[in-house]
Amino acid sequence: MPSIDLRRYERKEIPKQKAKESGGSGIIELLNRDITFGKNELSDKKKESFYLELGSLLQAGINLKSSLELITADQTKQQDKQLLTNIQKAVLNGDALSVALKASTRFSLYETFSLQIGEETGKIIEVLNDLAKYYQTKIKQRRKIISALTYPCIVLATSVGAVTFMLKFIVPMFSEIFHRFGGQLPWITQKIVGLSNALENNFYQGLVCILIIIGVVFKIRDRPQFRKIVSSVVLKLPVVGNLVQKTYLARFCNSMRLLINAKLPLLKAIALIRQMINYYPIESALQIVEDDIMKGMPLHQSLQRFTIFPPKMIQLIKVGEETNQLDYFFARISEQYIEEVEYKTSTLSSAMEPLIILFLGFVVGIILLSMYLPLFQMSNILQ
């Protein structure tokens, strides 16, 4: 194998190229950035890039050592460069890639076991490409959901801010005028003034209560009972519940496809997905599914005991088991759910925008009407 001159791959001109491609916009890059809240693992975006580059280099005939050198040289952040340097050193010392990734603690068991199977079966390139596709799909799905819901959320937040501003600052000004003139205020004006006074008198207490509730929720968010209650409530919400369910089912099916395609035993695949799915209804169901499979029960028969798995999905899994094509059927189910999630998210976004605007107009209209109605009455009396 000829030695490779790494100087050709220095990143001197890459920032300019990226700036040109993105039109110099830092906002797009900020919105596309993965955020990890205290997690030790690499972001999905970095994993997708790593697996895609490594798989492409190996497929091009470059050995693992040189491939890792090229990817390491391509890093701009010192932390990422150090991580890949440590992985490269471990590989040079004789460790398998899966062992080196596991030792770094920046990759999940899901990935390291998949790579281990790929190394043992000689399908490491296929596994790397599958992992890259998995994270690419996951990122694409998340970005589409965020993109569809960003504008309605901004409009809703603006609406709440506008109404709060009017109740806290505008209404008290009119209230003072009403008190000077005296007389009986209309019913709707009394209610709006009362709401404004309640907000004025309890604003900071309410803010403190909200912060305490957020702190308590943040502290107990990982407790099984809390996760069970929250997921149960969310699943019962119209539209949103079905959207959340299919999002996680798509992730579950895509993970099963990847692990089964990597020739991982079914029981081991379910055990790994249970550790990484991070969604209580599926996670708790898979705990029981593991026990059922150990007792000899077919996968579809065990899954049909739980309402989180739709009957149509169960039937397709049954066909996959009978024809020994589970990976194919899990792939089809995942694609179908991803398409449904994208469509429903887009529809929900389109429906929310006018509804929020109408709601804002209605609330602001009520507030303005309640403020000007007494003024009209006073002008009539003065005439």
Residue 29 CA, distance from chain mean position: 17
Q: Where are the alpha helices (DSSP H) in 221-325?
A: 224-236, 240-261, 266-276, 280-294, 299-303, 311-323
Residue 149 to residues 68, 351, 353: CA-CA distances in angstroms?
38, 11, 9
In whole angstroms, what is the distance from residue 144 CA to residue 341 CA? 9
Dihedral, CA of residue 117, residue 119, residue 125 and residue 127, to nearest 10: 10
User: Higher confidence at residue 10 or residue 170?
Assistant: 170
Q: Which two tokens stand for residue 137?
A: 């799909």
Poorest-pLDDT segment among 130-144, 182-196, 197-211, 333-347: 182-196
User: Higher confidence at residue 106 or residue 163?
Assistant: 106
Q: What is the pLDDT of residue 364?
A: 79
User: Higher confidence at residue 209 or residue 2?
Assistant: 209
Tell me, yes or no, if the pTM score tops 0.85.
no
282-290 mean pLDDT:
92
Poorest-pLDDT segment among 30-39, 155-164, 276-285: 30-39
Computed over every residue of the chain, the mean pLDDT equals: 79
Write down the residue that tokens 């009455």 correspond to: 377
- Find the radius of gyration of the CA atoms of the chain: 28
Q: What is the pLDDT of residue 29?
A: 38
278-302 mean pLDDT:
91
User: Higher confidence at residue 31 or residue 198?
Assistant: 198
Q: What is the pLDDT of residue 249?
A: 92
Question: Which residues are CB-neighbours of 317 under 8 A, at least 6 positions away?
Answer: 299, 300, 303, 326, 329, 330, 333
Closest CA to 109 of 98, 96, 123: 98
Poorest-pLDDT segment among 162-171, 273-282, 318-327: 162-171
Q: What is the pLDDT of residue 311?
A: 92
